[in-house]
Amino acid sequence: MKTSVILNTPACLLVLLGVMAVSCTKDATPDSLLKADQPAASDVAAAADVSISAINSNLSVNWDNYAHGVTYTSSNAATDFGNISSWVNNRAMISNGNLRITLLKNALSGAGGVIGNIDVSDGSAYEMDYDIRFHSQFDWSRGGKVGFGFSVGDGNTGGDPGWDGNGGSLRLMWYQTDAGRVFFQPYIYYKDQPGQYGDTFGKSYPSSGSITRGTTYHVHMYIKSNTGSNTDGHVQIVINGTVVLDRAIRWTTNDSKRLIRNVTFHTFRGGSQSYWQSTTDGYIYYDNLVVHKIQ
Ligand SMILES: [Ca+2]
Ligand SMILES: [Ca+2]
């Protein structure tokens, strides 16, 4: 994943060419001149680390610096997020200072949306905020994964439960019941999850009634690692000021996997059955992302 990001980035190709040029020069240069060349070579390497594969502790992105209607490319994403995997250029656009993600019709999971993982500085406590809005014509279908979240250790998702104690993840879903109620719900993988798929803890936002298209919702998340095999970690989800989930949790039991490693950006329909699909393309808007490493 990292390799593809690097190779797709024109700036890095330039850096690679630069490194090649330096080493060619070095090969033909008498030892007495090598010392003068070396600082230039290390400067090039340092610049590559910062511009291509930044591992950030804090993020603040409002997309206001992009023109309306432009594609939000993998290199834009790398500039704003740092080291992010699996960007899909033709499903990401700037719309009036928002990031707009397209969910393709008749498709599920990564085939129809975006599944990006942002490698952030490993930490034991993080918080984030962002705004999210569904397009005025959005087809809810059954639901999907949505928004930014966090992964712990191995970052379990996708029906791979955290039972082995090596990882977990904190994400949101939107979900529509058979009766037509639509809401956000927690979707959490962790050591003590009761079933194979993510735990909702029976919580939703709103607790009754539905979310609506064209409305901006503000999401706040807080995550804290547990220590050892103790249930002394924490998870909190607050939407529009309403506490949806706030509890102690045991993410992992393998202490070497206890830290928060990535910010997730998973936006897609699914579920695996075809009734999660839609017959129309759908748009979800994001704005005002702030991620903060607490410790
Ligand atoms: Ca904005
Ligand atoms: Ca990391």
CA of 266 to the centre of ligand 2 (A): 17
Distance between Cα 64 and ligand 1 center (Å):
5
Q: Tokens 């993410």 label which residue?
A: 251
Q: What is the mean pLDDT of residues 7-29?
A: 39
Residue 101 CA, chain-centre distance (Å), reads 13
pLDDT given at position 16: 40
* Residue reference for tokens 């191995």: 154
pLDDT at 37: 36
Q: What angle separates helix 10-27 from helix 31-52, to the nearest 10 degrees?
A: 170
**Count of positions (residues) in the chain:** 295
Per-residue pLDDT tens for 163-197?
A: 999 999 999 999 999 999 999 999 999 999 999 99
Instruction: For residue 282, report the distance from its CA to the centre of ligand 1, in Å.
Output: 20
What's the whole-number average pLDDT of the chain? 87
Neighbours of ion ligand 2 (CB under 5 A): 119, 122, 261
* Helix (H) / strand (E) containing 39: helix 31-52
Which pLDDT score is estimated for 23?
37
Strand partners, 84: 118
pLDDT in tens, 223-243: 999 999 999 999 999 999 999
Gap between the Cα atoms of 198 and 215, Å rounded: 26
Side-chain half-sphere exposure of 261, counting CA atoms within 13 A: 16
Identify whether the C-beta of residue 236 lies closer than 8 Å to the C-beta of residue 245.
Answer: yes
Q: What residue type is assigned to position 156 of the chain?
A: N
The alpha carbon of 119 and the centre of ligand 2 are apart by a number of angstroms equal to 4
The Cα 108–Cα 117 span in angstroms is: 18
Ligand 1 midpoint to CA 94 (Å): 9
**Full-model pTM:** 0.83
The DSSP call for residue 47 is H
The whole-number average pLDDT for the span 258-278 is 97
Q: How far is the CA of 207 from the centre of ligand 2 (A)?
A: 34
DSSP codes of every residue in 203-249: --BSSSS---TT-EEEEEEEEE---TT-S-EEEEEEETTEEEEEEEE
Q: What pLDDT, on the 0 to 100 scale, is given for residue 52?
A: 57
Mean pLDDT across 35-46: 38
Residue 7 has pLDDT above 90, yes or no: no
SS3 of 4-30: the string is: HHHHCCHHHHHHHHHHHHHHHHHHCCC
